[in-house]
Amino acid sequence: MFDYIRGVLTYLSSGGIVIEQGGIGYRIICANPFSYQSQIHCETTVYLYQYVREDAIILYGFQTREERELFVRLLSVSGIGPKNALAILATGQPEQIIQAIEAEDHRYLTQFPGIGKKTAGQIILDLKGKMHDFAVPYTSLSRERAYGNEPAALSEAVEALKMLGYSDREIRQVVPVLEKEEMSAERFVKEALRLMTKR
């Protein structure tokens, strides 16, 4: 089982990142790949979760061990797969996720792709009362980075949202609001998720 990888971030797209270590490029799937944008061509540490299935071995990457642990706990819930768990984590606001679980806020949880009332109820049933150890570590995950506006940043963000499972209809509802702003792809993704989880 891998714990983390430290290497040079050589590539980034809506589908994930590539870390080069020892002459090998490791493709890693992340909730919001653009959160690593400031580290492109720099040495970077990514915490890993190795997901094995019959037809593939996939690496998922996280900025902290605590974020990875929340991902693992979400995977332990019946009906939650890696794509669902990443979509939930992509909001960049783990405190809200934890609060929603503790408050039994079905409405908040059902706004994520693939999470219906039954699955939201299962998340609450399985995880409520077991998240108190995340309260302090996750304050560091709410940080924002100040980048300048980047070419095609909004288009990149839209592709990232599609990778997370959001439909064209859902994305079209927030794009007019996002078009009024000048932000990095990372910030566009976070703002889109914030707007969609408020609906």
Question: Long-range contacts of range 7-13, CB-CB < 8 Å, 24 or more positions apart?
Answer: 7/43, 7/44, 8/41, 8/42, 8/43, 8/44, 9/36, 9/39, 9/40, 9/41, 9/42, 9/43, 9/44, 10/40, 10/41, 12/36, 12/37, 12/40, 13/156, 13/159
53 vs 198, residue with greater confidence? 53
| CATH level 2 (architecture), domain 65-142 | Orthogonal Bundle (1.10)
pLDDT, position 143: 37
pLDDT, one tens digit per residue, over 11-48 is 999 889 999 999 999 999 998 898 898 999 999 999 99
CATH code, 4-62: 2.40.50.140
pLDDT, one tens digit per residue, over 111-158 is 888 899 999 999 999 999 887 666 434 333 333 333 344 447 888 888
